[in-house]
């Protein structure tokens, strides 16, 4: 696929998907959602870790309200079901670790696109804004699911009702994101984390994600059973064998993954 609204770079197990409409603050239109979904599927097949970031000074301004034929033209429900949901599920359900490297403002659906990732690393200049109430909408793109689970109902409700910017440092303090890093070291920080995950035990990461996701729905007994089952699967992988041998031989492990 020839990409017009994003850039995809695959190198040494790391897939970097860069939202690339800087003149529109990387706002999401139909073309970008199609291309993002395609890139995520391509990365799933070829990489060991996925990074999403933005071009220019913003991560993503959310839905492009000037995009003809979408939310701006009262097709909100169709757009969410047919375009946003498959994209967000691809992020949520990926077997690979997904990092959102938030380089600048993340607003509306752009904020929730970032929060769908497994790990969010943000530059200190970044802000997160649940901007929906400003135009008479409720938070969507998974925001009413991700945010209360990350920060609790009280903080989520305030962020949604008041639609005020939450700074990267505040988001870190709330538990909304993993880390806020100084602007000058931002790219080095997310690249180092991506490299760490790309060199790690891919099969264990996939099952780790599964266990955490299902823990929201399981009782304790069910979660014990799930942990035992998934750990049994991990114990039969080459990564486990390599990890034990590396520990005994006092050397870094060289995980092969799938």
pLDDT, residue 189, reads: 98
The mean per-residue pLDDT over the stretch 117-137 comes to 97
* Domain 202-249, CATH class in plain words: mainly alpha
| Secondary structure of 98-145 in HEC code, one letter for each residue | EEEEECCEEECHHHHHHHCCCEEEEECCCEEECHHHHHCCCCCCCHHH
pLDDT, residue 20, reads: 98
Domain locations along the chain: 6-198, 202-249
Share of the chain above pLDDT 90, in %: 94
Confidence of residue 71 (pLDDT cuts 50, 70, 90): very low
**Same fold across 6-198 and 202-249:** no
Q: How many C-alpha atoms does 38 have within 13 Å on its Cβ side? A: 14
Confidence of residue 256 (pLDDT cuts 50, 70, 90): confident
Alpha-carbon span 208 to 124, nearest angstrom: 29
> Quick check: pTM over 0.75?
yes
Q: What is the pLDDT of residues 152-169, one digit of tens each?
A: 999 999 999 999 999 999
Residue with tokens 């806020």: 180
Q: What is the pLDDT of residues 189-203, one digit of tens each?
A: 999 999 999 999 999
Q: Is 204 helix (H, G, I), strand (E, B) or coil?
A: helix
Q: Is 6 helix (H, G, I), strand (E, B) or coil?
A: strand
CB 100 within 8 A of CB 121: yes
The mean per-residue pLDDT over the stretch 94-101 comes to 97
Instruction: Inform me whether the pLDDT recorded for 257 exceeds 80.
Output: no
Residue-wise DSSP of 21-85: -GGGTT-B-HHHHHHHHHHHHHHHHH-SEEEEEESTTEEE--B-TT-TTSGGGT-HHHHIIIIIH
Confidence of residue 95 (pLDDT cuts 50, 70, 90): very high
Maximum distance among all alpha carbons in the chain? 63
Alpha-carbon span 177 to 120, nearest angstrom: 5
Q: What is the pLDDT of residues 5-38, one digit of tens each?
A: 999 999 999 999 999 999 999 999 999 999 999 9
- Which superfamily does 6-198 belong to? 2-enoyl-CoA Hydratase; Chain A, domain 1 (3.90.226.10)
Nearest to 108 by CA among 157, 63, 162: 63
């Amino acid at each position: 696929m020839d990409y017009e609204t994003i850039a995809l770079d695959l190198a040494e197990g790391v897939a970097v998907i860069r939202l690339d409409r800087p003149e529109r603050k990387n706002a999401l239109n139909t073309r970008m959602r199609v291309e993002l979904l395609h890139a995520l599927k391509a990365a799933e097949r070829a990489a060991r870790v996925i990074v999403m970031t933005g071009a220019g000074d913003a991560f993503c301004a959310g839905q492009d309200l000037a995009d003809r034929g979408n939310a701006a033209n009262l097709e909100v429900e169709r757009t969410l079901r047919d375009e946003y949901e498959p994209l967000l599920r691809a992020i949520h359900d990926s077997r690979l670790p997904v990092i959102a490297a938030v380089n600048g403002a993340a607003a509306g659906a752009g904020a929730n696109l970032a929060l769908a990732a497994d790990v969010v690393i943000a530059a200190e200049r970044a802000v997160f804004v649940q901007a929906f109430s400003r135009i008479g909408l409720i938070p969507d793109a998974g925001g009413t699911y991700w945010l209360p689970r990350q920060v609790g109902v009280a903080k989520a409700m305030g962020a949604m009702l008041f639609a005020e910017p939450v700074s990267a440092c505040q988001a870190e303090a709330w538990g909304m994101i993993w880390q806020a890093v100084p602007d000058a070291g931002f790219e080095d920080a997310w690249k180092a984390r991506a490299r760490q995950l790309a060199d790690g035990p891919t099969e264990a990461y996939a099952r780790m994600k599964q266990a955490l996701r299902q823990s929201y729905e399981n009782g304790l007994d069910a979660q014990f059973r799930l942990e035992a089952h998934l750990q049994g699967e991990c114990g039969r992988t080459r990564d486990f064998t390599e990890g034990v041998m590396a520990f005994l031989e006092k050397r870094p492990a060289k995980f092969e993954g799938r």
